[in-house]
């Protein structure tokens, strides 16, 4: 796999604030790369640096194997981006918006090409309607059509589902999958909707306070052999002693708060449940933590326990 984005030791400081702090990551060709973090984690600042909208304090950015700042114009021609809400002309139709932005990019598409682009984002039937009549989701899809008019290799979407209703979110999800699977595009997507990222991302990066916490393949991070069990009993201290002297001792993880954490293959959970009953351990709660949302919350709320999920 060829790296499309290579970020090395990237930092951005605003007075005494480290918005991005020594961040390194790689996006490979064909990735749908989920860029995750809480509000203020540094995602938008990083994306703005990738688009040369913000100058880094330190670090190196390479796109398509070339230094971003010495080959800026050449590199940016291969990128399409939608940052927050796309700016479009409300009094123009979708078709005329698309035509206008294409000409700004030095492109003169035919009417058929414009309609094909709008069809790809599900707006062909509303091509001649003014954008002021569009829903937020339709405007978001038009913004993506504009970002794709020059057929870029890399697409960067910053919170593409922000403010959308369930149908709008589903439309964006299907569009992302279409761009990845059928158009063979590489995508970097920042999002707060973890359930959506779980459905589309092939690789993930989680940052917190500008620093990288976890990066890896989605299938590895959610390996069923790495399922974390959160166990609560009427007497956790006694239960932990019994578990540590049993065949489950290797599954035990460092204690967090008053819960017992165990890591095992998902298929072993019924066997654990039977063992707990047979040993008269009174279970109050037994939950598996294996979704992206659970994983994200565990990592960002207790960074000292990253090893529990990644070792």
- Expressed in percent and rounded to 5, the helix, strand and coil fractions of the chain are 40, 30, 30
Query: Is 297 part of any domain?
Result: no
Is the same domain home to 275 and 195? no
Question: Could you read off the pLDDT tens digit of each residue along the chain, which spans 311 residues?
Answer: 689 999 999 999 998 888 999 999 999 999 999 998 888 889 999 999 999 999 999 999 999 999 999 999 999 999 999 987 778 899 999 999 999 999 988 889 899 999 999 998 889 999 999 999 998 888 888 999 999 999 999 999 998 887 788 888 888 889 899 999 999 999 999 987 777 888 899 999 989 889 998 888 877 766 667 778 889 999 999 999 999 999 999 999 887 667 898 888 888 999 999 999 999 999 999 887 655 666 676 666 654 444 444 44
At residue 104, φ and ψ (nearest 5 deg) are -60, -30
Is the same domain home to 60 and 183? yes
Query: Is 306 part of any domain?
Result: no
Is the same domain home to 276 and 146? no
Is the same domain home to 15 and 162? yes
Domain end marker among 196, 215, 234:
215
Query: Is 153 part of any domain?
Result: yes
Nearest CA among 51, 83, 86 for reference residue 68: 51
At residue 248, φ and ψ (nearest 5 deg) are -95, 5
What are the Cα distances from residue 39, in Å, to 197, 204, 207, 250?
Answer: 16, 17, 10, 36
Query: Is 295 part of any domain?
Result: no
Is the same domain home to 46 and 189? yes
The CATH number given to whatever domain includes residue 252 is: 3.30.70
Residue 53, both tokens: 């909208």
Total tally of structural domains belonging to the chain: 2
Is the same domain home to 63 and 7? yes
Query: Is 300 part of any domain?
Result: no
CA distance 146 to 102: 7
| SS3 label, residue 286 | strand
Which stretch of DSSP H or E encloses residue 35?
Answer: strand 32-36
Is the same domain home to 281 and 197? no
The residue ranges of DSSP E strands in 124-210, in sequence order, are 154-158, 186-190, 203-208
Residue whose structure tokens are 């959506």: 196
Is the same domain home to 172 and 233? no
Is the same domain home to 181 and 255? no
| 234 CB-contact burial (10 Å; exposed 0-12 / middle 13-18 / buried 19+) | exposed
Is the same domain home to 269 and 135? no
The CATH number given to whatever domain includes residue 95 is: 3.40.50.300
Query: Is 301 part of any domain?
Result: no
Query: Is 296 part of any domain?
Result: no
Is the same domain home to 209 and 231? no
Q: Which domain holds residue 273?
A: 224-290
Is the same domain home to 153 and 276? no
At residue 230, φ and ψ (nearest 5 deg) are -105, 115
Residue whose structure tokens are 């960067």: 156
What are the Cα distances from residue 90, in Å, to 84, 93, 95, 139, 289?
Answer: 17, 8, 12, 10, 45
Domain end marker among 198, 215, 232:
215
CA distance 93 to 127: 6
Who's near 285: CB < 8 A, 6+ residues apart? 230, 231, 232
């Amino acid at each position: 796999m060829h790296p499309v984005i290579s970020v090395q030791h990237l930092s951005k400081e605003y007075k005494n604030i480290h918005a991005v702090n020594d961040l390194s990551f790689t996006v490979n060709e064909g990735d749908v790369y989920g860029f995750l973090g809480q509000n203020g984690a540094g995602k938008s600042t990083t994306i703005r640096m990738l688009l040369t909208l913000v100058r880094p304090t330190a670090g190196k950015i390479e796109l398509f194997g070339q230094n971003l700042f010495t080959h800026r114009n050449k590199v940016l021609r291969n990128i399409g981006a939608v940052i927050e809400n796309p700016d479009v002309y409300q009094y123009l139709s979708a078709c005329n918006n698309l035509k206008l932005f294409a000409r700004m990019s030095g492109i003169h598409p035919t009417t058929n090409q414009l309609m094909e682009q709008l069809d790809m984002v599900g707006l062909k039937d509303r091509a001649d309607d003014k954008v002021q009549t569009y829903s937020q989701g339709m405007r978001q899809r038009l913004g993506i059509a504009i970002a794709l008019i020059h057929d870029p290799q890399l697409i960067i979407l910053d919170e593409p589902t922000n403010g959308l209703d369930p149908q709008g979110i589903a439309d964006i999800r299907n569009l992302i999958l279409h761009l990845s699977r059928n158009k063979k595009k590489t995508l970097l997507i920042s999002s707060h909707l973890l359930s959506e990222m779980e459905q589309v991302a092939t690789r993930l990066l989680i940052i917190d306070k500008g620093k990288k916490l976890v990066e890896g393949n989605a299938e590895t991070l959610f390996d069923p052999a790495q399922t974390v069990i959160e166990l609560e009993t009427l007497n956790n201290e006694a239960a932990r002693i019994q578990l540590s002297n049993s065949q489950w001792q290797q599954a035990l993880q460092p204690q967090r708060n008053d819960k017992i954490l165990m890591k095992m293959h998902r298929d072993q959970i019924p066997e654990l449940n039977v063992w707990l009953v047979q040993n008269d351990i009174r279970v109050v709660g037994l939950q598996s933590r294996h979704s992206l949302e659970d994983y994200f919350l565990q990592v960002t709320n207790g960074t000292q326990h990253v090893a529990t999920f990644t070792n």
